[in-house]
Amino acid sequence: MRIIIPCETSLKVLLASFAKDDSIIPTFSYGAWSGLCSYDYIKTWNYTDGSAVDYLPWLEGFPRNGADYSNPTCAFILQEKLFNAVAYSTFICKKSASSQKPHKYCIDGWRYNYVTKSCYLITNYGSFTTLEKYCKTFKGGHLSSFTNTNELLFIDALVYNAYMSRDAFWIGLFSDDNGVTWKFTDGTSLNFNPWLDDYPIRGQSTCASAMSLDYSQEHIANDNPCSQIQLGVCKMPSFKL
């Protein structure tokens, strides 16, 4: 399997390429730089190792051009999709093949995040209470919390890539004092709270949903009543199987 070519230490020199069957791609939690770049304002794309460009699974609406995108611009891999970006991130390097079986950190069907060391699962449709109870049937499980933009985008990417939908979905954020304060069901502190403008709305729902207005910007709101039937995402601690 052709995965990655040799990697240098500088983030400015991204020597990586991938093919459609590269099973390593979905394992990256927040995504990573590929070696796919454009030097002519996204007219053409080339790999830094000279590989043929014969597979471009762009996220809908990408590649993008404009004042917010530098030239050259390079492609970022997130949950098996490509988009061009300007932010810093990890990058993919080549390593020698190994016969050692990789460790398994999650139950089948769950997705592992190498940064948070947690496992995530998209639920079926249900109310906030129903899905929280379901998540708790797994050891340490709850509706998902998040601590930063990257984790929230990771959660959103799981839902979007499974259903190709930007519909709101349940996270573990709730209020037990009519919206004055908010906390996660797993006890995680709410130190990062990307509420939509003018949210949360006092006296409305005491359960929060996540939604994506743009692939690079995730938001939360308390529009939907806790009884609303929608998808959710569970989160549980990882463990080595």
| Whole-number pLDDT of residue 118 | 95
> Which residue did the predictor score with more confidence, 112 or 35?
112
Does residue 5 have a pLDDT over 80? no
Asked if residue 106 belongs to a domain, the reply is no
**Pair 89, 193 in one domain:** no
Residue 159: predicted pLDDT: 87
Answer yes or no: is 169 within a domain: yes
Residue 232, pLDDT score: 97
Categorize the per-residue pLDDT at 86 as very low, low, confident or very high, splitting at 50, 70 and 90.
very low
Of 183, 193, 185, the C-alpha closest to 236 is 185
Which pLDDT score, from 0 to 100, does residue 139 have? 94
Bridge partner list, 209: 170, 221
Total-model pTM? 0.61
- Cα angle, residue 71 at apex, residues 67 and 77 outer, rounded to 5°: 95
206 pLDDT exceeds 90?
Answer: yes
pLDDT cut 70: percent of the chain above it = 66
Q: Are residues 67 and 166 in the same domain?
A: no
Query: Total domain count for the chain?
Result: 2
Among residues 70, 101, 132, the one where a domain terminates is 101
Same structural domain for residues 8 and 74?
yes
- State which residues form the domain around 227: 111-237
**What pLDDT is attached to residue 94?**
47
Same domain flag for 54 and 5: yes
Find out whether 71 and 44 touch, Cβ atoms under 8 Å. no
